[in-house]
Amino acid sequence: IPVDPFDLVIFGASGDLAQRKILPSLYHRMIAGQMPREARIFGAARSKMSRSEFQDYVADALRKFAPESAKDEESLKAFLDCLDYVAIDATGEGGWSDLKAKIEDGANPVRAFYMSVAPSLFGAISERLSQTGIATEDSRIVVEKPLGHDLESARALNAQLSASFDESQIYRIDHYLGKETVQNLMALRFANALFEPLWNAQHIDHVQITVAESIGVAGRGGYYDKSGAMRDMVQNHIMQLLCLTAMEPPSRFDPDSVRDEKLKVIRALDPVELKDTVRGQYRAGNGEASYKEHAENPDSKTESFVALKVGISNWRWTGTPFYLRTGKRLRARMSEIEVQFKEPPHNIFRGSERVPGNALVIRLQPNEGITMLMTIKEPGQGGMRLRRVPLDMSFAQTLDIDTSEMADAYERLIMDVIRGDQTLFMRGDEVEAAWAWTDPILQAWAESSASPEPYDAGGSGPDGALALMHMDGRKWREIE
Ligand code: BG6
């Protein structure tokens, strides 16, 4: 279904995110028939560029980052026709009247502003937008991480945005929420009555969430070294996965019902003790360079891996730990959530010492799908021996689709901005609550004299992470 015709201004249009994600996503949505051809996309950045220079620049970006679809010359031309460019001085006077004149020259009903710039410019740009009247009461503003470095800076950012925009106009992107499989988590939980009665501490032994990456930090060491895995992945993406797994059923699938429930989860998280945290940093291994080399900082103590044991103090979850882990340069790229159910209360089978509990594995990427681990009788005459086997559902096979061609998270989210649907965006209080929980962990690390534990590049993470589970008689799933 096509969205309403819109004007979208991309601040920072010559940056990496715009080239890699925003522009290719819009282009794909146009090819899919969702972006109307009356839409206008304005690039806005500091450098002077003419409209045609910007069009050439975008054509190059699309050929690089959307090579297959950019071969379609007719669509490419139609897309480039939607583009215009304004050189703008974010903190000064230059370019604003020009932008206003161009925007007011059209009659598209939706206006959105994408801040693909450093957060230090969010305040200045939003103030200009509202002062000049370029942003109206129903315009939308899109921002993206890093949404603060800690609670204090996140509060300051929120205050700057809300000085010019109402919360209902602010779209904070966490691209994990745009992933098809992450949304499927909600369908799995709330469109299947089967699991809900069991989805609690009485029946679930623990939950483990893994976001393992095989890539390192090459090329973005400067940003990453100031951030680390906790700020880069845990405070946002993993927190969202945790919330969707743990939240109460919202009464409706609408923005505030969903976000209220997520917020309650974050607020119920227990403070994490230092002993329940592991931070690691990859060293050279398996032919790959070390973190320090990538970050170009021989003394760096930044973590490229985090594992945490987290408790949630509420009626549903008290007693069921959530184990979280994420890291760079691990053996494989693998994101999944495993819900490990308890063992049956009594074992009637003498042939097996233990009857393993069932587990539900939700694979977010790659090989998106769901696996239920079931216990069956081992075939043969060996008596009643038990074995755990997978009952497997892969989206690609079951739905006969090529999951690599599923709409990218950004495509979905940008179209949601135009539609005015905030369900898959973070609310300001949610971001602040996540920082309020993360800050003491970061502070405890900063105060500790210990360095992150080294792990081999291309391995499965530091031994400390394995120990975190072993101590509780539990085990991580293999990263493979
Ligand atoms: C980004 C992080 O937000 O998410 C990156 O800054 C990380 O460090 C990326 O690699 C992971 O996203 P995805 O979609 O590849 O899982």
- Tell me, in angstroms, the distance from the centre of ligand 1 to residue 73's CA: 31
Token readout for 219 is 């090329």
Q: DSSP readout, 83-114? A: EEEEE--TTSSTTHHHHHHHHHT---SEEEEE
**What ipTM score was computed for the predicted complex, to two decimals?**
0.99
pLDDT tens figures, 144-153: 999 999 999 9
Output the pLDDT for position 349. 86
Residue 296 has pLDDT above 90, yes or no: no
**3-state SS class at 56:** helix
Confidence grade of residue 403 (pLDDT, cut at 50, 70, 90): confident
Query: How many of the other CB atoms lie within 10 Å of CB of 341?
Result: 19
Query: How many of the other CB atoms lie within 10 Å of CB of 367?
Result: 15
Q: What is the mean pLDDT of residues 90-117?
A: 94
Query: How many of the other CB atoms lie within 10 Å of CB of 475?
Result: 11
Nearest-atom number in ligand 1 for the CA of 236 is 3
Confidence grade of residue 77 (pLDDT, cut at 50, 70, 90): very high
Output the pLDDT for position 351. 66
Nearest-atom number in ligand 1 for the CA of 232 is 6
The residue whose CA has the least distance to atom 13 of ligand 1 is 176
pLDDT tens figures, 2-31: 999 999 999 999 998 999 999 999 999 999
Element housing 294 (H / E)? helix 291-295
Q: What is the mean pLDDT of residues 434-454?
A: 96
Select from 174, 176, 291 the residue to mutate for testing ligand 1; criterion: most ligand atoms less than 8 Å from CB.
176
- Tell me, in angstroms, the distance from the centre of ligand 1 to residue 38's CA: 32
Confidence grade of residue 251 (pLDDT, cut at 50, 70, 90): very high
Residue 206 has pLDDT above 90, yes or no: yes
Residue 221 has pLDDT above 80, yes or no: no
- Tell me, in angstroms, the distance from the centre of ligand 1 to residue 147's CA: 15
pLDDT tens figures, 110-163: 999 999 999 999 999 999 999 999 999 999 999 999 999 999 999 999 999 999
Output the pLDDT for position 352. 67
Nearest-atom number in ligand 1 for the CA of 220 is 8
- Tell me, in angstroms, the distance from the centre of ligand 1 to residue 215's CA: 10
Residue 330 DSSP label: B
Select from 237, 240, 294, 412 the residue to mutate for testing ligand 1; criterion: most ligand atoms less than 8 Å from CB.
237
Cross-strand bridge partners of residue 455? 282
Output the pLDDT for position 384. 83
Select from 232, 335, 363 the residue to mutate for testing ligand 1; criterion: most ligand atoms less than 8 Å from CB.
232
Nearest-atom number in ligand 1 for the CA of 217 is 8
Query: How many of the other CB atoms lie within 10 Å of CB of 20?
Result: 15
Confidence grade of residue 353 (pLDDT, cut at 50, 70, 90): confident
Q: 175 a known binding residue?
A: yes
Q: For 74-88, 144-158, 338-352, which range has the lowest pLDDT when averaged over its residues?
A: 338-352
Q: How far apart are the first and last CA of the chain?
A: 38
Output the pLDDT for position 367. 86
Q: 145 a known binding residue?
A: yes
Is the pTM of the predicted complex or chain greater than 0.90?
Answer: yes
The crossing angle, in degrees rounded to 10, of helices 428-447 and 151-164 is: 160
Residue 210 has pLDDT above 90, yes or no: yes
Output the pLDDT for position 473. 96
Burial 128-161 (b: 16+ CB within 10 A, else e): bbbeeebbeeebbbbbbbbbbbebeebbebbebb
Residue 60 has pLDDT above 70, yes or no: yes
Residue 443 has pLDDT above 80, yes or no: yes
Query: How many of the other CB atoms lie within 10 Å of CB of 424?
Result: 25
- Tell me, in angstroms, the distance from the centre of ligand 1 to residue 174's CA: 10
- Percent of the chain residues topping a pLDDT of 70: 99
Output the pLDDT for position 144. 94
Residues flanking ligand 1, CB < 6 Å: 213, 232
Q: What is the mean pLDDT of residues 390-403?
A: 88
- Tell me, in angstroms, the distance from the centre of ligand 1 to residue 264's CA: 25
Q: For 44-53, 176-185, 186-195, 377-386, which range has the lowest pLDDT when averaged over its residues?
A: 377-386
The residue whose CA has the least distance to atom 5 of ligand 1 is 232
Cross-strand bridge partners of residue 333? none
Cross-strand bridge partners of residue 285? 288
Residue 46 DSSP label: S
Token readout for 196 is 């809900």
Confidence grade of residue 401 (pLDDT, cut at 50, 70, 90): confident
Confidence grade of residue 282 (pLDDT, cut at 50, 70, 90): very high
Q: 46 a known binding residue?
A: yes
Q: 213 a known binding residue?
A: yes
Q: For all residues of the chain together, what is the average pLDDT?
A: 94
Residues catalogued as catalytic: 237
Q: Are 45 and 15 in contact (CB under 8 A)?
A: yes
